[in-house]
Chain A
Amino acid sequence: MSNTGTRDRVKDWVRTAGRVPREALYLAVIATVVLAVTGALPEFRAYEWTLWAIFGLLAASFAFVWGHAGIFSFGQAAFFGIGAYAYGAAGINLSPATGETLTALLLGTLVAGIAAAMLGYFIFFGSVGDVYVAIITLAVTLVLLTVMSSTADPKYHVGDALLGGYNGMAGIPPLMLRAGTALDTRQMFAFSVILAAAVALLLNILRRRPFGRILAGLRENETRTQLLGYDVRRYKLGAFTAAGLVAGLAGSLYSAWGMFVNPSVFTLQQAALVAIWVLVGGRNSLLGAFVGVALVQGLSTALGGSGDTWTPIILGSVLILVVLLLPDGVVPSGLRAVSNVAPWVASHRLPRTVRSRLLQRESTELRDVLAARSGQFKPKRLEGQGLVKHFGGVKALNGVDLRVDAGSVRALIGPNGAGKSTCFNLLVGRYAPTEGHVRLDDDDVTRLRPDQRAAMGIGIKMQVPSYYGALSVFENLWLASFAALGKVEDSNRQALRVLRWLGMDDRASLDASALSHGEHQWLEIGMVVAGAPSVMLLDEPTAGMTREETHKTVDMIRDMSQFTTVVVVEHDMEFLRQLDAPVTMFHQGLVFAEGSIEELRKDERVLDTYLGRRPSIDAAG
């Protein structure tokens, strides 16, 4: 659980499916301990700790949707409350007939999940901005508060269950697993803790699966994830729904535990409390969710005796202190401290020899990397025909024909504002042209989005850095591989191959943010290569590189050009001279000159345009 920062994440990945996950062991340990201590636990403790486990589960749902998937949802309290009311209504209506309430538990979870899916659909497919997600989910929670508070009239009922307005829904049956026998306090404690642990561990497994990895990717860099060809809306909806289900389960357990629910579950305080638990425990730590609940609830219980007025002030101060002193939360900070003193406790490092054996099995040849995507691996011709682009009144591109033959390299250059970036963005699909067409071999791709073009074999490295800083180098490459290949095992191997080709084997488990500037660029080139594209579009691949790094990049691009078409925008003349590929020079939105870099160097008109000299335009025209 929790922070995987210190672990060897390659191992996690390469370890294949089919083995028993370590979570099974954790669950067995937790279950054994719980069953062993339950009997000795005073009843009031069992009662209190049951609530903590339930709140912990709610907090875990928030840690998943916010900490892992990056969606700040205030709605977890709403789904919790919906689950609680749904369990109540189902329990009151069904249990007299069936004698059990497991069905109600399931229904409560499902109703909350459906509510989350419906709300999430409008939020994510409506492409609502991040801030508004928080506002909308909070608004929904508060609307529910108002609605549920005004249902005191007996006419508001679900079957036999009265909603009860402010007074809430009473007479909710406790948890009954078998007909007619309710769980006693201690049994309820054991059941809740084990169930909460099982669900949290399940979420933890989910984080490691492709679905979870893609979520981490979109948390780190949504645009990049989109450009790799993932439909981020679907993944966000998936995460939001999963978190809604878990919150609904927690809510159902809550009303079974208290045998009562009222609209206070929908208050601002409750919604904020969920965020506070997770902030204290650690935002991307599922264990932290439970620890956060225990700390905050424990503290507020302890303070409860000294008078209500002081409790919020002290709790608030504690929260501020935690955020200031342990910004990552208690659990991740604690784990880091432990691993500093005793590295073997928190990290499970794979022996270096095993790791390198894994790597050495893979080829270093680019040919094999690109062959991974069978059928599609073939350089293609990229063509812009009569491209015109106007931004408002500004004519950035005035009719450009550009043809890059399959398997060739082309460099685009030009002074600032000449139109080369605009042209590049039209090829990429970031802008739609005002006039003209973009063709990939014989397919017209003019109207396709960047992610759709990526799926057709156009690989893109943008000018602005675009990698996943908090994910390991391996995970970065894996996400790019998986987008193209779609199979876990293939993607593992592909990522390892690219790693070898880049010569960055020893960087595999490093956070991408820890790389040097040049290595960042290579990582991004590697992410393009991992998709085995037919055409690669590279915008300023050597920006900020040292001379040696630029040399290596030239070699990489030469290597790539044997197997695929490469278009590169660059204004590092040293790089262009070494690359020695045909150059297209732009000026004032038109192709001004084409030829080798040496030819352009001798051209006086080219020099004039670079110096911003006005007469040159007449000379050119």
Chain B
Amino acid sequence: MLRVEDVTAGYGAGAVLTDLDFQVAAGQRVAVLGRNGVGKTTLLRAIMGEIRAKKGRVLLDGRDISDEPPHRRARSGIAYVPQGRDIFPGLTVLDNLRVAAYGTRRSRWQSRLDEVMDEFPILREKAKMPGAGLSGGQQQILALGRALMTEPEILLLDEPSEGIQPSIVDQIAKHVRRVNRERGITVVIVEQNLEFATEVAEHAYLMDKGRIVRDLPAKDVLADRELQHEYLGV
């Protein structure tokens, strides 16, 4: 279980998140929705430890990880796929996956690699290609596969649908749901694409001005036009 407790965080002296409370039960799939600039990415970065909370705590299964650097949090089971995917463009697909494995137990490397390749056959097909040679959608799948190499408990995804063609977006939604179902991985997804988000997540949190302002089943957001105008539109 992941809990963000009363967190205030931001860049330099400014605060992007103010007294934010947020909680995800193990095995849940949730979406964080909101306009540009309300602090969605900052929330993920605060969970990952890329920025430190100025106030408040981040708890993983009840343990306070607020003071841990990102690599420790990664080893504790949080995997983060940032916006723009950040794959290693000069490494082959295979090496992109191998790099992620180095942080984990050696005996499991090969079996994990096989699992990920089975889950995403396209990665096996392109194993020898440099990361930069993949299409946007394939890069997103690679980033997802790389995150799974670390056997995470929690997967943080920042706008996985951005700049990707619709057919692959659907495919990614299916993959995310399946790893959640089959491996019990908790999923937190930040999205602009409402349909994609509700396809992936069961539950939605609406953010505005650095806080969580609403908390409701994802389907309800899809149905409520008023709510969309208020928090997601222009």
Partner of B12 from A516, A597, A606, A613 at Cβ < 8 Å: A516
Complex Cα spacing A597 to B232, Å = 14
Which of chain A's residues have a CB closer than 8 A to the CB of B191? Answer: 612
Q: Are A517 and B37 in contact (CB-based, < 8 A)?
A: no
The stretch that binds A, out of B23-31, B160-168, B172-180, B211-219, is: B160-168
Q: Given A413-B234, A611-B193, do A601 and B10 touch, yes or no (CB 8 Å)? A: no
Cβ of B159 < 8 Å from any Cβ of A?
yes
Size bracket of the A interface: 20 to 34
Complex Cα spacing A547 to B15, Å = 11
How near does chain A come to B119, taking the closest CB pair, in angstroms?
A: 25
Interface string of A602-620 (1 = CB under 8 A from B): 0100110011111000000
Which of chain A's residues have a CB closer than 8 A to the CB of B193? Answer: 611-613
Q: Given A572-B37, A601-B229, do A612 and B234 touch, yes or no (CB 8 Å)? A: no
How near does chain A come to B24, taking the closest CB pair, in angstroms?
A: 23
Q: Given A417-B162, A597-B234, A600-B234, do A612 and B196 touch, yes or no (CB 8 Å)? A: yes
| Chain B residue, CB-CB nearest to A544 | B14
Partner of B37 from A543, A546, A600 at Cβ < 8 Å: A543
Give the residues from 162 to 203 in chain A that come closer than 8 angstroms, CB to CB, to chain B: none
Interface string of A506-517 (1 = CB under 8 A from B): 000000000011
Q: Are A613 and B194 in contact (CB-based, < 8 A)?
A: yes
Complex Cα spacing A181 to B168, Å = 88
Which of chain B's residues have a CB closer than 8 A to the CB of A597? Answer: 234
Interface string of A483-497 (1 = CB under 8 A from B): 000000000000000
Which of chain B's residues have a CB closer than 8 A to the CB of A610? Answer: 35, 192, 232-234
| Chain B residue, CB-CB nearest to A598 | B234
| Chain B residue, CB-CB nearest to A540 | B37
How near does chain B come to A560, taking the closest CB pair, in angstroms?
A: 22
How near does chain B come to A543, taking the closest CB pair, in angstroms?
A: 7
Which of chain B's residues have a CB closer than 8 A to the CB of A516? Answer: 12-14
Q: Are B12 and A415 in contact (CB-based, < 8 A)?
A: no
Interface string of B19-47 (1 = CB under 8 A from A): 00000000000000001110000000000
Give the residues from 330 to 369 in chain A that come closer than 8 angstroms, CB to CB, to chain B: none
Chain B: interface residue total (CB-CB under 8 A)? 28
Partner of A607 from B14, B15, B16, B229 at Cβ < 8 Å: B229
Contact residues of B: prevailing secondary structure: loop
Cβ of A143 < 8 Å from any Cβ of B?
no
Q: Are A573 and B234 in contact (CB-based, < 8 A)?
A: yes
Q: Given A416-B36, A612-B193, do A544 and B228 touch, yes or no (CB 8 Å)? A: no
| Chain B residue, CB-CB nearest to A546 | B14
Which of chain B's residues have a CB closer than 8 A to the CB of A601? Answer: 229, 233-234
How near does chain B come to A351, taking the closest CB pair, in angstroms?
A: 29
Give the residues from 73 to 117 in chain B that come closer than 8 angstroms, CB to CB, to chain A: none
Complex Cα spacing A52 to B233, Å = 70
Which of chain A's residues have a CB closer than 8 A to the CB of B232? Answer: 607, 610-611
A607-B233, A612-B161, A612-B193 provided; 18 other pairs, C-beta below 8 A? A415-B192, A416-B163, A516-B12, A517-B13, A544-B10, A544-B16, A547-B209, A572-B36, A572-B37, A573-B35, A573-B234, A585-B234, A606-B234, A607-B232, A610-B35, A612-B192, A612-B194, A614-B195
Binding site for B on A (CB under 8 A): 413, 415-417, 516-518, 520, 543-547, 571-574, 576, 585, 597, 600-601, 603, 606-607, 610-614
21 A–B contact pairs at CB < 8 A? A415-B192, A416-B192, A417-B162, A516-B13, A517-B12, A520-B12, A544-B14, A544-B16, A546-B14, A547-B209, A571-B37, A572-B37, A573-B35, A601-B233, A601-B234, A603-B234, A611-B192, A611-B195, A612-B191, A612-B195, A614-B166
